[in-house]
Amino acid sequence: MNPGTTGVSAFIAPSPVRRRGPRGVQLEEVVEAADALLARGLKPTIERVRQQLGGGSPNTISPLLDVWFERLAARVAGVAVPTEDDLPPNLRSAWNQAKTKREEQWAAATAAIEQALAETRDASEALRGELASAQAELASLRGRYDTDVDKLQNSLESERFANATIRAEHERALQAREGTWRQERERLEAREIAHEHRFLAEVDQARQSAKVLEAELAKERKRRLQVEEAAAVERKTHWVALEEAKQQDRKLRDELKSQAIALTQARGQGESLGEKLAAVRQQLADEAATHAQARATLAQAIAAVGQRMPKKRAQGSVPQR
């Protein structure tokens, strides 16, 4: 064993790492990469293992790295050590003392590692539970959002149908009014024609009574003027009704715009739900950081044991002659 090697890496000989592509990462590859990093005095993290392997999904490497941490204590505890017969007589006493201290330190380190692993497992279980709760809440939010959107769409379709019905009724009313006005105009025209015919007949029959004819003609002109004035009033009435129908049509269009605004607001509520989803994802990221902190604590415990071991061996060694 090289005296310059420190920590647990002195007892674990790293194997050459077989590099693969980003797919198909196996447990053996992750173990070899983590051992190699530990031998270099580096804490095995997901990103460092990915770099050591030359790729790989973090979601695949993370559980395999957890297995490496779980097996590390057992691997360290099973490392073979020299026997007293392998040492010179003048070093056996120092070796026995160093071995006793080393066993105590390894026992304490093993207990610390097991505790850290237990804490890591508990944190992982808690994260899985919170993730399941967040996913359930997300599914519920999506369900409520879809229901609200369906309700708004159904309401909009009902309003559109009602507006279309109102427009059709107004069109029929306008057509009916135009037909009535056309009939009245034809009646007035026919009346005027009849009046003219009668006037001509009266002229032919009463040429000798010019004064009487002129008086009758004046009366007829007066009646004709009244008829024209009445027709003008009727046309004005029809025009007012037509303008009222146009105003009603503009009012209906404004209502359609208001409904479109309501639909836009509903979409805004959907975006708000998306923001809540982002907040849940951020919470999951924070919980993942807590998991990473637990792993860092475990790595620090292992490094602390490695730093104490070389100092104890150096204190108990005796120079050979």
Average pLDDT of the segment spanning 145-150: 88
Beta carbons of 20 and 54 less than 8 angstroms apart: yes
Tokens of 203: 């002229």
Q: Distance between CA atoms of 190 and 291, rounded to whole angstroms?
A: 98
* Domain interval for residue 129: 81-321
Give domain status of residue 149, yes or no: yes
Triad 66, 13, 54: Cα angle to 5°: 55
303: Cβ–Cβ under 8 A, 6 or more apart, which residues?
7, 43
> Of how many residues is the chain composed?
321
Q: pLDDT tens-digit profile of 195-254? A: 888 878 887 887 888 888 788 889 989 998 998 999 899 889 988 988 998 998 899 899
Confidence at residue 50, expressed as pLDDT on a 0 to 100 scale: 94
Q: How many CB atoms lie within 10 A of CB 316?
A: 17
Confidence at residue 10, expressed as pLDDT on a 0 to 100 scale: 46
Give domain status of residue 287, yes or no: yes
Q: pLDDT tens-digit profile of 165-206? A: 998 988 888 888 888 988 988 988 898 898 888 878 887 887
Give domain status of residue 13, yes or no: no
Give domain status of residue 168, yes or no: yes
Total domains in the chain come to 1
Closest by alpha carbon to 134, among 126, 144, 145? 126
* pLDDT over 80 (residue 112): no
Label residue 19 by pLDDT band (50, 70, 90): very low
Give domain status of residue 5, yes or no: no
Q: pLDDT tens-digit profile of 63-89? A: 999 999 888 877 776 655 455 565 566
Give domain status of residue 208, yes or no: yes
Confidence at residue 63, expressed as pLDDT on a 0 to 100 scale: 93
Q: Is the pTM of this model over 0.75?
A: no
Q: Distance between CA atoms of 222 and 88, rounded to whole angstroms?
A: 151
Average pLDDT of the segment spanning 149-154: 88
Average pLDDT of the segment spanning 107-132: 77
Give domain status of residue 180, yes or no: yes
Confidence at residue 295, expressed as pLDDT on a 0 to 100 scale: 83
Beta carbons of 44 and 299 less than 8 angstroms apart: yes
Q: How far apart, in Å, are the Cα atoms of 151 and each of 25, 193, 273, 298?
A: 48, 63, 17, 53
Tokens of 172: 């029929």
Q: How far apart, in Å, are the Cα atoms of 63 and each of 124, 161, 282?
A: 11, 57, 21
Give domain status of residue 294, yes or no: yes
With 0-12 CB in 10 A as exposed, 13-18 as middle and 19+ as buried, what is 74?
Answer: exposed
